[in-house]
Amino acid sequence: MWLAPTFGKALMARAGKEGTPVFLVGGKPEVLAQTEAKLRTQWNVNIVGSQDGYFTPEQRQALFARIHASGAKIVTVAMGSPKQELLMRDCREVHPHALYMGGGRDL
């Protein structure tokens, strides 16, 4: 699943406790749905949006607009390197006031 075992779990636990809005990007649709359910159940994470990793380059700007409109303060991206780093870099231009975290989903 998502996130580095120690840091990711601690971050999601805190986000759930504080109600921090989180947006998830990447993975297969079924894995993303499982991750959302686990984050909500285990830590009461306020997931304000998600997008599986199967979108076209033409859909990127619409995704960035969705992330911005969601007000997410944490954006996790699990698409493999270097895709996730490039996506985070580009999304930051549209939505700069968030913590971006790439990596696998290891919950």
Query: What CATH number belongs to 5-102?
Result: 3.40.50.2300
Residue that is written with structure tokens 């109600």 in the block: 19
**Helix 5-18 with 29-43: angle, nearest 10 deg:** 60
Binned at pLDDT 50, 70 and 90, residue 1 comes out as: very low
Q: What is the pLDDT of residue 21?
A: 99
**Domain spans, the chain:** 5-102
Residue 107's pLDDT is 53
Task: Record the pTM.
Answer: 0.92
* Residue 52 pLDDT exceeds 70: yes
Q: SS3 helix, strand, coil % of the chain, rounded to 5?
A: 50, 20, 25
For the cut 80, the answer to whether the pLDDT of residue 46 exceeds it is yes
pLDDT tens track for 80-104: 999 999 999 999 999 999 999 997 6
Closest CA to 24 of 43, 4, 44, 51: 51
Nearest to 2 by CA among 73, 75, 70, 54: 75
